[in-house]
Amino acid sequence: MATELDNIEIRPARRRFVQGAAALATTLIAPGILLYKTGQASSNGAAKTPRWGLLIDTNALSEADVDACVSACQREHGWHSEAGSATDAQWIRKLRLSDERSGQQQFLPMMCQHCADPPCVDVCPTGASFKRDDGIVLVNKHTCIGCRYCMMACPYKARSFIHETLYDQLPVAPRGKGTVESCTLCVHRIDRDGANAVPACAEAVNRGEHKAILFGDLNDPQSEISQRLKSHGATRIRADLGVDPGVRYQGL
Amino acid sequence: MIDCSKALPFLLVSLLISTLLGWLAFTQAVAGEVESSGFGAVAIPQPHKPDNASACVEPLDIMRREHMNLLLHQRDATVLDGERDGNYSLVGCMDCHNPAASAETVIRYPDPQHFCAGCHLYASVKIDCFECHADRGLAKIEQGRLADSNVAQPGSGLLSLQTFQMQLGDTGGD
Amino acid sequence: MRTIYSEIRTSSPQYWGLLAVFAVITALGIAAAHRMEVEGHHISGMSNQVVWGLPHVFAIFLIVAASGALNLASLASVFNKAEYKPLARFSAILSIALLIGGLAILLLDLGRPDRLIVAITHYNFKSIFAWNILLYSGFIVIVLAYLWLMMERRLEHWSRPVGMFAFAWRLILTSGTGSIFGFLVAREAYDSALLAPMFIVMSFAFGLAMFILLLLLSFRLDRRELDASHLQRLRKLLGLFCIGILYFVLLFHLTKLYGSQNHAYERFILLDGGVYTWLFWLFQIGLGSLLPLLLLYSARWQHSPRSLVLACLLIIQGAFAQLYVIIIGGQAFPLNLFPGYRVDSSFFDGVINTYSPSLWELLLGCGGLTSALLIALLVVRVLPILPQNLPGAQN
Ligand code: SF4
């Protein structure tokens, strides 16, 4: 196939493809082997790969703010959850914490925590559940077989299985019956804007100086998120499991 | 031992019946999907071409032969590496090749009028792109949604309809 | 004395009737799976909270029993117990049949069963599930080879090493099945290394119970003679395995109770879990373990084949109860994200999840079970698997 294409005049768009054609041929012959290239090539690059994360300041979030996060995510990705439905997907949800003794209440958004050692990636039989070089944990829906083992393994209940046929999905969030999905950290925005990206949930609640949901590079000590983590500290939910989530909480 | 003298005619008869049934089912299925002009002759598909775009991302012969590889390659680059600036996205296809017909009718993938379905049914190549991807471009979806809030055909995406309504209700909310 | 094996030749209406019933249920199971694939899983009782349901209970039962069904073959070739030799072939066939039935359910319950090819070509070697795919397919190949060596006189001396290999393989296989749950560190109900050995003992008992039932059934269908001494041996073995399960269940819950962080979960299963508590105490412990032990050991019933059959049936229903409690009860209990806080949300955080299986799931599960029985009953008709008779032991 590569030879056929070599004979044709090469345009820039095509050049990329021809470069990839050899890789593609390998993929076709030995599927599954090359696909992992990305997952493993992470740490040896000289330039530090970013690790994207969120710092969520629960003190700055009212209940309405958390609701705004949820509906912003729904708008961005086109998912919807009927109240009380046990089968509808929820990429992000509002948690209410009540202290059992004092009765004090807090609200926080809970979604995929983009762990450094994600249990969902470990257990996935096909490798469909994977972690990108930059730390974002995603489901490759082209290889997900819908076994739901990742949902069993996730400590945060962050994943949903799609129980029904869907139509008219949004271009940024293809999603379909029989596969599993979860928060993507708005990966399409990150691919476009890099360190300046603002995930939809953060966009919905950040006003003025203080960012209630701060997005940034955990690997870059100069980044705002690293600075704030350094000065204020933060909680990792279920830190006891050692999965090192990339989403951290302040004020818990 | 088995009595062969009875087994043979029995086998032949059952073979004959199952073959006939198979043919019947096959021709029925074909007739149902693509307009058929008689036994074995299937109409050559005439995919609808977009009227506003001048040319495809690649010459026609390349697209015909290679579209699946182009798509597959870019698909993995996008999902695994986050490279989103390629030319060959399925979303791109659907943006131009909005299924034919007016804004009021929704043409879903398995319908032979759908740009992809015509040939794929003809060649009997099963694809599952549209289990997850929208089978029409975003513009068309929005157009349909504005023209008629009753986008959902019987049995079609309940969820997405709700999403639309929610989106409509939410505009100007923040 | 040489054992003579032969195909069962019955054309009794019972045999064909049974086959027909099994075939119909299997067909219904396939239809149900198809329906679930077309409609989506919302027609099942499963949800985003209870992601594995009744089909998985059936599937795990069959897979676990498959490994256990090989017991008698292993006893004969690995432990040199000549008296079990005549039953070795049937033991191998049954174990393959049960495994196929279990795997079929797992496959058909996938969200995308049409992507079987993906499951075969993409392996994540860190995944216990992926190991299990290899273990299961390897098991079928090894047991087939083993069976062939047992049936081919000239190669019979090879059956011992291969039998040993099969024995080791199936221990690993059942450990693997147990580890599917045991390695789920985030869930209180699982997260225990004990699950692997517990599954092994469960496999011994469940597999033997299935074996005894099917052996009696096929002997009876073909009117073959089966001396009571064989049943007595199997009865003792079954009782032993039953005690083994009880021991592991006790150990499992004691270790969970030891750490106070699991008290809430233990309380749920043992005291106030509603259906799960009932299933545990009444169906698993009472009817599934204690009553069979009574039937197997008490002087009164010790010699009646009926009591053996009843004990097997009870053990099997206990197996379902136990797996239901482990698989579904374990998911019904909510994840504990914030110890010390009460958590609630629109996504069922902090509440006991509900699950009620739908007809489709039940059909799929039963279909898998009957497909295994169908295979076993068909194979004994076309291959010389069963001994022509099993007279009293000579020793
Ligand atoms: S449901 Fe999909 S992503 Fe999750 S473990 Fe199974 S194959 Fe992997």
The answer to whether residue B79 neighbours chain A at the CB level (below 8 Å) is yes
Residues 76-115 of A with CB under 8 A from C: 81, 83, 86-90, 93-100, 110
pLDDT at B160: 42
Residue A100 lies in a domain: yes
Residue nearest to atom 2 of ligand 1 (CA): A144
Give C-chain residues touching A97 at CB under 8 angstroms.
338, 341-343
Give which of A10, A40, A126, A168 to mutate to test B binding, by max B Cβ within 10 Å. A168
Give C-chain residues touching A158 at CB under 8 angstroms.
none
The answer to whether residue B76 neighbours chain A at the CB level (below 8 Å) is yes
- Least Cα distance to A71 among C48, B166, B158 occurs for B166
Within a 10 A sphere around the Cβ of C191, how many other Cβ atoms?
17
Whether B71 and B83 map to the same domain: the answer is: yes
CB contact under 8 A, C186 and A119: yes
Pairwise CA distance, residues C177 & C319, whole Å: 15
H helices present in chain B, as ranges: 4-33, 60-81, 90-96, 115-123, 138-147, 158-170
Pairwise CA distance, residues C324 & A148, whole Å: 17
In the DSSP assignment, the letter for residue A161 is: E
Which domains does chain C carry? 5-394 (1.20.1630.10)
Which secondary structure element, helix H or strand E, spans residue A56, and what is its range?
Answer: strand A52-57
pLDDT at A3: 37
CB contact under 8 A, B131 and A187: no
The per-residue pLDDT string of chain A (252 residues; one tens digit each, 9 = 90 and over) reads 333 333 333 333 433 443 444 444 444 444 434 343 343 334 444 457 999 999 999 999 999 999 999 999 999 999 999 888 999 999 999 999 998 788 888 999 999 999 999 999 999 999 999 999 999 999 999 999 999 999 999 999 999 999 999 989 999 999 999 999 999 999 999 999 999 999 999 999 998 888 999 999 999 999 999 999 999 999 999 999 999 999 999 988
Pairwise CA distance, residues C367 & C24, whole Å: 9
Residues 153-182 of A with CB under 8 A from B: 164-171, 174-179
- Measured in Å, residue A182 CA sits from the centre of ligand 1 at 11
Query: Are C207 and C71 in contact, with CB atoms under 8 Å apart?
Result: yes
Task: End-to-end CA distance of chain A: give it in Å, rounded.
Answer: 57
Residue in chain B closest to A19 (alpha carbons) equals B73
* Angle, helices C359-382/C54-69, rounded to nearest 10 degrees: 20
Task: End-to-end CA distance of chain B: give it in Å, rounded.
Answer: 83
Residue A118 lies in a domain: yes
Query: Which structural domain, as residue segments, surrounds residue A212?
Result: 4-38+48-81+88-250
CB contact under 8 A, C123 and A95: no
Whether B75 and B147 map to the same domain: the answer is: yes
Q: What angle do CA A102, A105, A111 make, to 5 degrees?
A: 135
- Least Cα separation, residue C326 to chain A (angstroms): 13
Within a 10 A sphere around the Cβ of B83, how many other Cβ atoms?
14
ipTM score: 0.90
For CA atoms A142, A144, A146, A152, the dihedral sign is negative
Cα–Cα distances in angstroms (integers) from residue C14 to residues A177, A224, B168, C377, C392, in the given order? 43, 77, 64, 12, 27
Query: Are C390 and C230 in contact, with CB atoms under 8 Å apart?
Result: yes
Whether B84 and B139 map to the same domain: the answer is: yes
pLDDT at B11: 61
Which secondary structure element, helix H or strand E, spans residue A160, and what is its range?
Answer: strand A160-161
Residue A151 lies in a domain: yes
Which residues make Cβ contacts (< 8 Å) with residue C97, sequence separation at least 6?
C66, C372, C373, C375, C376, C379
Whether B139 and B112 map to the same domain: the answer is: yes
pLDDT at A4: 39
Cα–Cα distances in angstroms (integers) from residue C339 to residues A100, A239, B118, C316, C336, in the given order? 10, 12, 57, 38, 6
- Least Cα separation, residue A51 to chain B (angstroms): 14
Whether B104 and B147 map to the same domain: the answer is: yes
pLDDT at B25: 60
Q: Tokens 């045999």 appear where?
A: C15
The per-residue pLDDT string of chain C (395 residues; one tens digit each, 9 = 90 and over) reads 578 898 888 888 999 999 999 999 999 999 999 999 999 999 999 999 999 999 999 999 999 999 999 988 998 888 888 888 899 999 999 999 999 999 999 999 999 999 999 988 999 999 999 999 999 999 999 999 999 998 988 888 888 899 999 999 999 999 999 999 988 988 988 988 899 999 999 999 999 999 999 999 999 998 888 888 889 999 999 999 999 999 999 999 999 998 778 888 999 999 988 899 999 999 999 999 999 999 999 888 888 889 999 999 999 999 999 999 999 999 999 998 888 888 989 889 989 999 999 999 999 999 999 999 999 999 999 999 999 888 765 54
CB contact under 8 A, B134 and A79: no
Q: How many domains does chain B have?
A: 2
**Residues β-bridged to residue B59:** none
- Considering only CA atoms, give the Rg of chain B: 23
Which of B58, B73, B156 is the closest to A20 by Cβ? B73
Q: How many domains does chain A have?
A: 1
pLDDT at A38: 41
Whether B50 and B126 map to the same domain: the answer is: yes
- β-pair type (A247-250, A52-57): parallel
Query: Are A73 and A182 in contact, with CB atoms under 8 Å apart?
Result: no
Q: Is the CB of A152 under 6 A from ligand 1?
A: no
Whether B20 and B83 map to the same domain: the answer is: no
- Least Cα separation, residue B39 to chain A (angstroms): 34
Which of B27, B42, B57 represents a domain boundary (last residue)? B42
Pairwise CA distance, residues B23 & A186, whole Å: 50
Residue in chain C closest to A84 (alpha carbons) equals C346
φ/ψ of residue C244, rounded to 5: -55, -45
CB contact under 8 A, C342 and A241: no
Whether B108 and B143 map to the same domain: the answer is: yes
Whether B38 and B52 map to the same domain: the answer is: no
CB contact under 8 A, C121 and A31: yes
- Least Cα distance to B23 among B12, B39, B5, B34 occurs for B39
Residue nearest to atom 6 of ligand 1 (CA): A147
Residue A43 lies in a domain: no
Could you tell me the CATH number of the domain that includes residue A242?
Answer: 3.30.70.20
pLDDT at A109: 96
Whether B67 and B141 map to the same domain: the answer is: yes
pLDDT at A83: 85
Which secondary structure element, helix H or strand E, spans residue A95, and what is its range?
Answer: strand A92-99
In the DSSP assignment, the letter for residue B33 is: H
Give B-chain residues touching A79 at CB under 8 angstroms.
159, 163
Residue nearest to atom 4 of ligand 1 (CA): A150
B116 exposure class (CB count in 10 Å sphere: 0-12, 13-18, 19+): buried
pLDDT at B98: 74
The per-residue pLDDT string of chain B (174 residues; one tens digit each, 9 = 90 and over) reads 444 455 556 666 766 766 666 666 655 555 444 444 455 666 788 887 777 667 889 998 999 999 999 999 999 999 999 998 888 999 988 888 876 555 567 888 888 888 898 889 888 999 999 999 998 888 878 776 666 544 443 333 333 444 444 444 433 333
The reported pTM is 0.85
Q: What angle do CA A249, A148, C342 make, to 5 degrees?
A: 40
CB contact under 8 A, A35 and B157: no
Query: Which structural domain, as residue segments, surrounds residue B32?
Result: 1-42
